[in-house]
Chain A
Amino acid sequence: MSAAAGTTNQAPETGTAAPAAAKQRWSGLRRVVAQPKGLVGLTLVVLYLLLAIFGPLLAPHDPFRQDFAATLKAPSAAHWFGTDQLGRDVFSRVLIGARATLGVGVGGVTFAFLFGVPLGVLAAWRRGWIDALVMRVIDVMLSFPDIVFALAIVAVLGASTQNVIIAVGVVSVPIFARTARAVTLSILAEPYIEGSASLGASPKRIILRHVLPNISGTLLTLSTLLFASTLLSASGLGFLGLGTQPPNPEWGTMLGESRSYIRSNPYLATFPGLFLAGSALAFNLLGDALRTIYDPASRHAVRKRPWLGALRRKARPASRDAKPEATTGPAPAVSVRDLRLAFRAGSGLLEVVRAVDLDIQPGRTLAVVGESGSGKTTLLRAIATLANPEQVAVTGGTILIGGESAIDLTPSAMMDLRRRKIGVVFQDAASALNPVLTIGAQIAEAVRIGTDLDAAAVRQRCAELLSDVGISDPERRLAMYPHQFSGGMKQRIVIAIALAQDPQLLLADEPTSALDVTIQQQILALLGDIQRKRGMAVLIVTHDLNLVARFADDVAVMYAGAIVEHGAVAQVLDSPRHPYTQALRAAIPGGAGRRGKPLDAIGGEPPMVGMLPAGCAFRPRCQRTHGRPECGRAEPPAEMVAGRKVACFFAQEGLS
């Protein structure tokens, strides 16, 4: 595939304005329950906790009463789980043992939390020798196997429930300390910490008010996961006779006592074992569900209903691209007609691109200008055949790339089309390159797809591509890694990858906004050169009108998913006719005459996706509408006015 980047599928930015009443504190719980494993885990954990609290009240028999007339009985109506070697009711002992067993787990985790977290936070906050000392001691502690370490502690302190709690707690302290240190370090690097420090907040306040609340999610997850292992360690000690002392029931101790009868009376070990395994499983499931919520890496991984999207795609008529257009002149490299795209949100479809028409002839550059949420990036991804069908639905219209439809393709046909015709350059070159592969390997990968060149020819082609994008000494640079290049050089490499298959259409999403001004100019000049040499069509998405003025032939101004003004750059930017384009031009500082005077700001903010006002989407911010009813009644159609298409009922009014 010649698409150079774009491994990150941005989740559509919708519903950011949740009602204020839906406070954050309950949202965590709701998100746990929304996952099957979270629901099961949470239910089981609650049941276990109830068991620990009410177990003694429920026990049908006295768990300590020995009955030598009925030892080692199999499960029966009177004794549900049978009786043990002393004739005690196993069911009652299991119920009563819950409190001791879970108590050891809770105690151990609490102990580890109370010592480990402050140590980790302290190390992260103070750094320097305190950090070094704490971390080395912890490394040493971690080098002992858990259970051996715990055994040694109990051996020194003596066997008792309390000492088991200390032993399993001490074993977990290093894990808490390390995690707390790592997450604290990452929180301390957040700008809002610097913000509070510059506000004058004391270190104590920063730790208590900003760091602890923000690391609590991770630590809660860790506590739950560690709870399971602590429980098992404690029961292991109990099994070895070092934990809760007989006759007090504890599941590990009970397992230990049943050891001698494992062949003759296996049920004796079965029930405490099942309860023990169940509790570990319950806490693990809950911890896993919590991790899904608090781990940012897995946050967007949970996506619903992919099969539903697939069904919908199939259900639509397949022969939509068979609409021949009466075109004059050469076939456009890309032709988009009445394209409608929508985000799949929990509540249904949110329309994000509304009836977009555009053509780009070979050798021309079209700039799509818009603000965040205007749908410009979604449009680009759809044309690049990179829109994730699970997130974005094509609800109407056509995309023809070099005459071939780019909609309703099978995944392999789509890959093939993308490889042959499309090159993509994304904004963030740093994340578009794989840090562990040489750039030679990454360019070669793009070159090799769909061809059977030998290794020498591939290498030759890679070197050519690098010199095409203005990188000198290409042979040597091919063996270098991305981190050895500056941001501007990385963007050049990304462009080289996009050019690997000689695309007819180059799509660039904010290709320079992550770069410094002087580097921006270099990259734009390079893109212009390449385009002239290869006669490609270029579609560039940006919010920067200066860039448009310098680089593009045509410009399409997008607002709330629709193109409001579309024409040659000289016409649109010099004498804009749509009130939004006019306002954008006026809002940009610059020009000696206006120094220090207030800018002509556009009031309000762009509308949220899926929350458009009735009629013209720009009406609430428009300087031209003056409350005229036409604007509220219907969406203005795009019409030719003064040599460009404008979607405004009053486009004839007031030249800027």
Chain B
Amino acid sequence: MSADAIVATALSRHFVGRRPLFSAKPAPVARAVDGVSFRVPRGSCFAIVGESGSGKSSLARLLVGLLQPTAGEVVVDGEPLSALDATGLRRLRRRIQLVLQDPRASLDPRMSVFETLHEALAVHGLHPGRKARAERIATTIGLVGLSPAHLDRFPHELSGGQRQRAAIARAIICEPDILVLDEPVSALDVSVQAQIINLLMELKQRLSLTFVVITHDLALVEHIADAVGVMYLGRFVEQGAAENVCDAPRHPYTQSLMAATSHAGATGKAGVLEGSIPSPLAVPSGCSFHTRCPAARLIAARDPASAVATPDGLLPRRCVTQDPVSQAAPNGASTATCHFQDELPTARPQLQPA
């Protein structure tokens, strides 16, 4: 067993559209995931942060083998996914489970909680025998804080929190090593979110699980993640230890995200990013963030000599033409993909005054 639960190397997934008939134009390519590398040590929690359209959900599906990569490699527990056939992949899925955002939609409406959990055991032929399975189901339901009375209920008869608990029970009943959690609490009520976060943290400890959390909620990341990758248009613009990325973000995009989530006092306009994320079908040249980057505009205004005029305003030439490379922070705990990261203030955006 290797020390890393998941290793992703230069992972890419491109979706190729249909070439328009009677046109010489090449088929459009959406670069959903584009050259992403990271490793998740066993027992740690890795968070993938991004807006919708950043490719974070595609990345999650690559990790569990629901999507095949266009290039690159995912190694789970020392086993490369590409080397596995359909049966091998299904066997591997016992060890790496996906928990989806909306438990209302992710549980089959026609199956009771018992049937749902029983199916998970039946699929992998675990705990054969009626009695053994019923026992395993009873244990698991207790682990997630539900009572045996909930087993006969159908998803629509459960509250939002109970449904997410049932979905978590389904994921852990086969004793997996890794949970991939896609927005695990964003569909839940605020007071219930904390319960589910606590439950997940407790299960991670008790069952020695490795977590990959996909979310847009940086407050959640700060709370539960050990390491984080910030995704923008299919690439990690910043990745590293969670406290470094959250407390001292180096990439302007991460800085904007942090400003947007923290309890800033009055309506802090400083943190407002202009525009919206471009389509992955037309990724901007150079640094893909240049169309929205507030820092690039400031730098261009300071040094107009090395700036070019673009439809998005005056921007440094390097940002528009050159792909930035990933550079490590001085303390080595995080890397960011920005030409000017060393010139930006890295202090965490202002928190609400006490």
**Chain A interface residues toward B at CB < 8 A:** 16-18, 20, 24, 190-192, 194-202, 205, 209-210, 213-214, 371-372, 486-489, 516-522, 524-525, 528, 543, 545-546, 549-551, 583-584, 587-590, 592, 594-596, 598-603, 605-606, 621
Contact = CB atoms under 8 A, between A and B. Distances in A.
A220 B123 CA distance: 28
Interface of B: 51-52, 64, 66, 90-94, 97-98, 100-102, 105-111, 119-120, 123-124, 149, 152-154, 156-162, 167, 170, 174, 189-195, 197-198, 201-202, 216, 218-220, 222-224, 242-243, 246-247, 256-257, 260-269, 271-274, 276-277, 352
B264 A202 contact: no
B267 A194 contact: no
Given A196-B119, A516-B276, A590-B261, 15 more contacts: A191-B105, A192-B107, A192-B108, A201-B90, A517-B218, A517-B257, A522-B272, A546-B263, A550-B266, A587-B190, A588-B190, A590-B219, A601-B194, A601-B198, A603-B195
A602 B222 contact: no
A473 B260 CA distance: 27
Given A198-B66, A200-B90, A214 B110 contact: yes
A194 B61 CA distance: 10
A202 B86 CA distance: 9
A178 B265 CA distance: 57
A584 B191 contact: yes
B271 A602 contact: no
B194 A517 contact: no
Contacts of B107: 192, 195
Given A584-B190, A588-B219, A606-B191, A516 B263 contact: no
Contact of B100 (A194, A517, A551, A601): A194
Contacts of B92: 200
* Residue with the highest number of chain B CB atoms closer than 10 Å, among A521, A524, A543: A521
Chain A, interface SS category:
helix
Contacts of B119: 196, 199, 201, 205, 209
B197 A521 contact: no
Contacts of A200: 90-94, 123-124, 174
Nearest to B269: A525
12 contacts: A194-B100, A200-B93, A209-B108, A549-B265, A550-B268, A595-B243, A596-B223, A599-B198, A600-B194, A601-B191, A602-B191, A605-B162
A592 B241 CA distance: 13
B201 A214 contact: no
B123 A592 contact: no
* Residue with the highest number of chain B CB atoms closer than 10 Å, among A201, A202, A214: A201
B98 A488 contact: no
A599 B195 CA distance: 8
A551 B220 CA distance: 22
| Nearest 10 Cβ contacts at the A-B interface | A200-B93, A589-B223, A587-B194, A601-B194, A198-B98, A590-B219, A516-B51, A371-B189, A518-B273, A599-B194
A194 B64 CA distance: 11
* Residue with the highest number of chain A CB atoms closer than 10 Å, among B98, B153, B260: B260
B90 A549 contact: no
Nearest to B180: A198
A211 to B, nearest CB: 10
